[in-house]
Amino acid sequence: MALPPSPTPPAVRRSGHTDTYHGQVVGDPYRWLEDADSPETQAFVEAQNAHTRRVLDALPQREQMLERLAELWDFPRRSAVWQEGEVFFQLRNSGLQDQFVLYVMASPTDEGRVLLDPNALSDDGTVSLSGLAVSRDASRVAYAVSRGGSDWQEWRVRDVASGLDLPDVLPDSKFSGASWLPDGRGFYYARYDRPDDGQRLSGANLNQRLWLHRLGTGQDADELVLERPDQPEWGFGAAVTDDGQWLVVNVWKGTARQNLIWVRPLGEGGAFQEVVAEFGASFQFVGNDGPRLYFLTDQDAPLGRLISHHLETGERQDIVPEGQHRLLGATLVAGGFVLHTLEDASSRLTLVDRHGQHARLVALPGLGTVDALNGHPDRHEVFLTFTSYLSPAAGYRLDAVDGTLTPLWTPELAVNLGDYEVRQEFAASADGTRVPLFIVARRDLPLDGSHPTLLYGYGGFDVSLTPAFDVSRLAWLEAGGVLAVANLRGGGEYGERWHQAGTRANKQNVFDDFAACARFLVTRGYTSPPHLGIEGGSNGGLLVGATLTQHPELIGAAVAHVGVMDMLRFQHFTIGWAWVSDYGSSDDAQDFDVLRAYSPLHNLSPQAYPPTLLTTGDHDDRVVPAHSYKFAAEMQRAQAGEAPVLLRVQTLAGHGAGKPTRLILQEKADVYAFLLAALG
């Protein structure tokens, strides 16, 4: 079945609003849609949702897809185990629960008991856990809850023995974890000033402060640890070292892979020692042996290296020099480190001693992704999960002495995954760059160009798309579809040079890489342009928007989730200013020329576009929904063909984190039914 011709979309008012950038006048006729709470914007959302539902609800595949997705989704899932003191913790979902549940156990394989069930915190499943920190003696858990998908958090404290909450409630936190004092009587966390009414989606998040909260006191009694009113874009993350000697503060500024490190003895006031005093590279704190601190850094090493810094002498040493592959992480364990590297976007684990010597490779179950790596400096056990495109995340225990990997639990699916296979291919981009892509399809797939194929990408912010299981994709594969995931420049698969090659003035490389992958799928016979769909979210939504405006002839359908579509104004909302490190800013004349050249909103023109589905959440306070609202209105106006341009706005949902299962299933059913109908 093909998509029927689109009904006439709702009429949308265009204003005469213009802005002047560096002498150039640019129209912004839908500026009024930036006011998310205005009656006119709410009426726009209602009309667009009604229009979208008329199209999607008429697709017979939609209900069938929803039913099949619910069947596939209904299997038990677990996070990696982690340990504090002599107690073990794990997040679990029985299958169709809206939110994962926190369990406490006496051993890594114990059935345990429920400690915290966020499903009980709301009737509709829209309250989620957004942060967890267990005290050193495992007697208490600081946990953060978010509502309706918002990035805003409220910290609370639960007693592990009784399962009851303490009176402590700490709102107004955002982009913050928690780190406990060694005695468990308090923890560090960060928060912003509460936004004024009506500024939830329009005000910028600036002037984060670091606080110490002591249990049993009100938030107004919290001790201010750090603030920098002269640097409103700086944020602060605190870590108390495992030996309880030091407070290590990570000072960040936006999403740039550059940060400062400040350290002082725990419990002392006064000035911090500036271990890293200038923004110029990434320094990730790994752990310490007394005054010797270990960091993973890309300073003078785009693929990463592991170093030590002595707080008393200032001496720095290479522990693990830069190698041939991206050093993604390092975990400090008794006697050494577990190193996590990426080789062509899949995980490798290596054990080394404290001097970076005597390397031993850990035998992993296959090509895939290691997640978590939960360990302690005084223990040999490390807990992790391993997943791939055709393997649900399974739990393992790693013995860091002999490298033995022992399964703890393996999810069971009522599906024969052996019918499918994963291939890694490489496309050549416009400038000849080798671009990897993973392709998942039936083993017996004839390469005759006839298959509906979904190409997914991201390409930004040092994010690596490594092989991971998504049960919803099985529904796509079962329906005869092919899945392709592209590892584009701008990501982190090959280190900082790969990342920088897809940022600012180089951003066009990302779109060229994606187009090259689309052409590769066609020339190799997997699909043809009428059968090729593209999908991405957030920065990946920008990728889809740019591909729509630059290469509509390459694709048969497009799905963009919570996309950054207005590249001239993104920096004015909530945390958008933090993306300038990747995108640049329209406030700069040179950046403006680059942004204006690819901004999806500003490059739509009257022509026949392929069927397009745009999704967003009315509570998205990261990529505010105005991006999708404005792009949908302008694309509907520019559409010269019969294909629908649909806007799906989910109420009580944000950027994606914490979205309840029932809403995920409904959205996935809409997306796959839309793509199957559009691509044939």
Q: What is the pLDDT of residues 541-566, one digit of tens each?
A: 999 999 999 999 999 999 999 999 99
180, β-bridge pairs: 187
347, β-bridge pairs: 342
In a domain, 248, yes or no: no
In a domain, 88, yes or no: no
User: pLDDT at position 196, please?
Assistant: 75
User: pLDDT at position 106, please?
Assistant: 97
User: pLDDT at position 331, please?
Assistant: 98
Examine the domain organization and report whether 462 and 334 are in the same domain.
Answer: no
Examine the domain organization and report whether 346 and 403 are in the same domain.
Answer: yes
What are the CA-CA distances from residue 221 to residues 70, 170, 224 (Å)?
47, 11, 9
The count of structural domains within the chain is 2
Angle at 97 (CA atoms; ends 94, 98), nearest 5 degrees: 150
Q: Which residues of the chain have pLDDT under 70?
A: 1, 197-202, 654, 656
Angle (deg, nearest 10), helices 626-638 and 539-550: 10
In a domain, 351, yes or no: yes
Examine the domain organization and report whether 396 and 430 are in the same domain.
Answer: no
Please measure the distance between the N-terminal and C-terminal CA atoms of the chain and give it in whole angstroms.
6
> Which domain CATH number covers 444?
3.40.50.1820
Q: Which of 378, 410, 442 is the last residue of a domain?
A: 410
Residues marked as catalytic: 538, 655
In a domain, 152, yes or no: no
Examine the domain organization and report whether 547 and 627 are in the same domain.
Answer: yes
Range of the domain at 567: 419-679
User: pLDDT at position 587, please?
Assistant: 97
348, β-bridge pairs: 341
Note the residue count of the chain. Answer: 680
Examine the domain organization and report whether 610 and 525 are in the same domain.
Answer: yes
User: pLDDT at position 202, please?
Assistant: 60
User: pLDDT at position 126, please?
Assistant: 87
Give the DSSP H/E element, type plus range, for residue 287: strand 283-289
Say if residues 336 and 353 touch (Cβ distance below 8 Å): yes
User: pLDDT at position 148, please?
Assistant: 82
Look at residues 49, 626, 26, 86 and name the one whose alpha carbon lies nearest to residue 378. Answer: 86
Examine the domain organization and report whether 401 and 432 are in the same domain.
Answer: no
pTM for the model stands at 0.94
What CA–CA distance (Å, rounded) separates 337 from 330? 6
Examine the domain organization and report whether 446 and 369 are in the same domain.
Answer: no
User: pLDDT at position 155, please?
Assistant: 98
Say if residues 455 and 543 touch (Cβ distance below 8 Å): no
Q: Which of 353, 379, 410 is the last residue of a domain?
A: 410
User: pLDDT at position 199, please?
Assistant: 61
User: pLDDT at position 197, please?
Assistant: 67
What CA–CA distance (Å, rounded) separates 459 from 426? 16
Say if residues 268 and 282 touch (Cβ distance below 8 Å): no
Examine the domain organization and report whether 378 and 450 are in the same domain.
Answer: no
Q: Which of 363, 390, 410 is the last residue of a domain?
A: 410
Structure tokens at 37: 């709470």
Examine the domain organization and report whether 342 and 428 are in the same domain.
Answer: no
pLDDT tens digits, residue range 107-164? 999 999 999 999 999 988 889 999 999 999 999 999 999 988 888 999 999 999 999 9
